Amino acid sequence: MKTKFIFVTGGVVSSLGKGIAAASIGATLESRGLKLTILKLDPYINVDPGTMNPLQHGEVFVTEDGYEADLDLGHYERYTNVITTRDSNFTTGQIYNTVIQKERRGEYLGKTVQVIPHITDQIKENIYKAAEGFDVALVEIGGTVGDIESLPFLEAIRQISHDLERHQTMFIHLTLIPWIAAAEELKTKPTQHSVNKLREIGIQPDILICRTDRPLDEELRRKIALFTNVAYDSVIEAQDVECVYAVPLNFHKEGLDSRVVEHLQLWAKRPNLQIWADIVDSYMNPKDEVTIGIIGKYTDLKDSYKSLNEALIHAGIALNLKVNLHYVDSEKLHDTGDTSDWAKCDGFLIPGGFGKRGIKGKIDSIQYARENKIPFFGICLGLQVAILEYAQNVLGIKNADSTEFNPSTTENIIDMMAEQKEVKNLGGTMRLGAFKATLQKDSMAAKIYGKEEISERHRHRWEVNNKYISALEEGGLKISGKNKDLDLVEVIELEDHPWFLAVQYHPEFKSKPIAPHPLFQSFVEAAYQNKGKKS
Ligand code: GLN
């Protein structure tokens, strides 16, 4: 079967949830037994989002093969069985990079290199390459229709629909139907304009997904359909939801997946979305709640810890608990000495992070969790800081430090590996992607995973310095997981504590509502038990 293409664009405003929409369309199609992949095309010039500030752009998602990707790839993996790779996400910067390198090598044979056809051809080549072998390739175009930056991408997908057969491609446009309070009316004009913009460049959407805060009545749907030249039953309502995992169900109720398989003439089995109904049911009807303190630096923009937040929510869904995420700014905590947030949290989590800011507040918090037997989960930087806390406060190495925070420290318990010291560029040069680790038999980690050989995704430059391992172990810290090939510490834990564990990798990238990550589930369960003890 030839691969079919679904292009997803967005109009009117950004932040309409295009990533979740694309992922949810994917979920409905997978429920019909179709094999799919999902791509994200980003119009910005950065070669990848790896060096972008998470406060501006949200989290950097890491793929199995070690690509630093847009956070939408995280949505794709959470909603579907798609395993994204470096081919699943590319930017204008990457496309230009490739084209300029080809030009330098003389591959254009002296021709004038232009946006059309050279840039658009490169975009098409990348899309085709990533789509190979799948029934359906969903392609999400970043940005909003009307932006200058996204034009070459829109032109490229228009050409794809022209190059391929009629039923091989389709366009889905996500738009907003705002409620204007003064008129007490839902307004369709922005949608009309945004579809007009698309049609100016030769793209007629086949389906409209209309974000709205209230139901669309028949009259309004007819009006939208008429003005945008979309079939009446292809105007899909997407009302705001309390649980993001309800979106596949809502799309299905609106008939979205039926319209897709009809249009693309896909042979597919009957959809079964029961698993999503169960997830939403557990989320909406929790038996109790638990509060997790996330002690970090980027606490202003919740999207900077997107996968982490979702992983905690998945654990809650599995345990039928509402998980309250309580963000604690570690810098403020240390500077003001106001530690009142500690008492509000049933478990402490220190997520990944970079740089020196806020480290002292993290160390104080870990000490409190360790001494007061509060469940503690450290992730990446969280492991490194937990080691520093242990070295300083238990082993008495007062100057224990990381060369990330203090390059001239004499107690470099956290240090860079030799090959990382050679690296000069910041982009794409960390220890990235999936690596194996071996867990110690009978350790808490091995019990939680239910196995001793694991593979998890990494994104860091610093490591535990092996010179200190015997001192740490003699001092009572258990090194329960190691990468044997590279001889690196992966997991640490404490025995005389109900739940104290930290990992050098990012388990949150592999958690899904359908398959919550065991470490998050076990941690949230321990936090809930701790809550029971407190009350
Ligand atoms: N800054 C630390 C390092 O590079 C931790 C990185 C992280 O938490 N992802 O090693």
Distance CA 115, CA 95 (A): 11
CATH class name, domain 4-278: alpha beta
How far is ligand 1, taken at its centre, from the CA of residue 360, in Å?
16
Best probe residue, ligand 1, of 295, 383, 384, 503 (max atoms within 8 Å of C-beta) = 384
Ligand 1 contact via 462 beta carbon (within 6 Å): yes
Do the Cβ atoms of 186 and 212 come closer than 8 Å? yes
Residue 14 in marked binding region? yes
Whether 4-278 shares its CATH topology with 286-534 is answered: yes
Domain at 286-534: CATH code: 3.40.50.880
Distance CA 511, CA 526 (A): 18
Please tell me what DSSP assigns to residue 112: P
HSE, side-chain direction, 13 A CA sphere, residue 222? 3
Neighbours of 194 (CB within 10 A): 25
- Is the pTM higher than 0.85? The answer reads yes
pLDDT at 532: 86
How far is ligand 1, taken at its centre, from the CA of residue 459, in Å?
7
Distance CA 247, CA 279 (A): 12
Residue 187 in marked binding region? yes
Closest C-alpha to ligand 1, atom 8: 352
Distance CA 334, CA 339 (A): 8
**pLDDT averaged per 10 residues, the chain (length 535):** 95 88 96 95 85 72 92 95 95 94 92 94 97 96 92 96 95 96 93 95 96 95 96 96 96 96 90 95 97 82 85 97 94 88 95 91 96 97 97 96 94 83 63 95 97 96 94 96 94 97 97 97 97 80
Peptide bond into 498 cis (omega under 30): no
How far is ligand 1, taken at its centre, from the CA of residue 396, in Å?
24
Please tell me what DSSP assigns to residue 270: P
Ligand 1 contact via 459 beta carbon (within 6 Å): yes
Residue 384 in marked binding region? yes
430 CA closest ligand 1 atom index: 4
Annotate 360-407 with three-state secondary structure.
Answer: HHHHHHHHHHHHCCCCEEEECHHHHHHHHHHHHHCCCCCCCEECCCCC
Domain extents for the chain?
4-278, 286-534
Residue 257 in marked binding region? no
How far is ligand 1, taken at its centre, from the CA of residue 365, in Å?
18
Ligand 1 contact via 351 beta carbon (within 6 Å): no
How far is ligand 1, taken at its centre, from the CA of residue 82, in Å?
26
Closest C-alpha to ligand 1, atom 5: 381
pLDDT at 411: 94
Do the Cβ atoms of 505 and 458 come closer than 8 Å? yes
Amino acid at 514: I
463 CA closest ligand 1 atom index: 10
pLDDT at 46: 87
Neighbours of 107 (CB within 10 A): 11
Do the Cβ atoms of 41 and 139 come closer than 8 Å? yes
Ligand 1 contact via 152 beta carbon (within 6 Å): no
Closest C-alpha to ligand 1, atom 7: 352
Ligand 1 contact via 353 beta carbon (within 6 Å): yes
Residue corresponding to tokens 């805060």: 213
What residues act catalytically?
380, 506, 508
Ligand 1 contact via 460 beta carbon (within 6 Å): yes
Ligand 1 contact via 296 beta carbon (within 6 Å): no
Closest C-alpha to ligand 1, atom 3: 460
pLDDT at 300: 60
Ligand 1 contact via 57 beta carbon (within 6 Å): no
Geometric angle at alpha carbon 509, from 507 and 512, rounded to 5°: 100
Ligand 1 contact via 354 beta carbon (within 6 Å): yes
462 CA closest ligand 1 atom index: 10
DSSP string, 431-448: EEEEEEEEEPTT-HHHHH
